Amino acid sequence: MEISRGQQPAPVPIKLKPIEATPATFEEFGQVVEASPDGDVFGPEDAQLDLSRGIPRLYIMKIEKRPLKFATITHHASVTQCLGSIGGHEWYLGVAKPSVLENSSDSGKNVVKSSCGHLYEPPRVEEVRVFKISGPKFIKLNRGTWHAGPIFKPETMDFYNLELTDTNLVDHTTHHFTKENGVVFLIDD
């Protein structure tokens, strides 16, 4: 097949088996928060939030058509974020560890300045993981954790989301795997 001038080759598919999200398997990226008895006091199993850089926003997102694949991944450098499905339905989240740099002396080989103003290293293809979240629990993403999703099998799902009122306007950095790395991720479940 001949590729015409300016046309990029098709991205290489990378199949990833999902890992069940538990407090232990997800701890590098954030927390998995499960139900606790009414009246329990705040503790380490509760979401450890950083909402100090703005006004919190808790809302319900209606999301449609998110098939089991992704080619972009996003991070928020200024806030933790919580996501959970309404009704505890099964869903997936692609993640990579945070790579926000506090200053240029922290830098590695490939430093990028976000349009939001902070420095970061792009996520590495080989470090991307996919988690399956099922049942009555939600995930809290650490500040700067790369994430793709929510992704799910049904046509539409509702999710609650806790972030800041302006997160998607002023704190939204996206890495394009197809453009930058020539790959697309497929969830093999």
What phi and psi, each to the nearest 5 degrees, are found at residue 140? -115, 120
Confidence at residue 3, expressed as pLDDT on a 0 to 100 scale: 47
Question: What is the predicted pLDDT for the residue at 1?
Answer: 43
* Residue 64: φ, ψ to 5°: -120, 145
Structure tokens at 20: 């069940």
The amino acid at residue 167 is T
Q: Classify residue 115: in a domain, yes or no.
A: no
What was the pLDDT predicted at 107? Answer: 58
pLDDT digits (tens, 9 = 90+) for 61-81: 999 999 999 999 999 999 999
Do residues 145 and 95 lie in contact, with contact meaning Cβ atoms separated by under 8 Å? yes
Structure tokens at 100: 């926000």
Residue 6 lies in a domain: no
Residues in the chain: 189
- What is the residue range of 57's domain? 12-34+47-97+127-187
Q: Would residue 1 count as lying in a domain? A: no
> With a cut of 70, which residues of the chain have pLDDT below it?
1-6, 104-108
The predicted structure's pLDDT at residue 19: 98
Q: How many domains does the chain have?
A: 1
Res 106: pLDDT:
60
Does 18 reside within a domain?
yes
SS (H, E, C) the chain: CCCCCCCCCCCEEEEECCEECCHHHHCCCEEEEECCCCCCCCCCCCCCCCCCCCCEEEEEEEEECCCCEECEEEECCCCCEEEEECCCCCEEEEEECCCEECCHHHCCCCCEECCCCCEECCCCHHHCEEEEECCCEEEEECCCCEEEEEECCCCEEEEEEEEECCHHHHCCEEEEHHHHHCEEEEECC
Please tell me the distance from the alpha carbon of residue 44 to that of residue 101, in angstroms, as a whole number: 26
Any domain includes 40: no
Q: Is residue 88 part of a domain?
A: yes
* pTM to 2 decimal places: 0.91
Q: Looking at the domain assignment, is residue 106 inside a domain? A: no
Rounded CA-CA distance 163/79 in Å is: 7
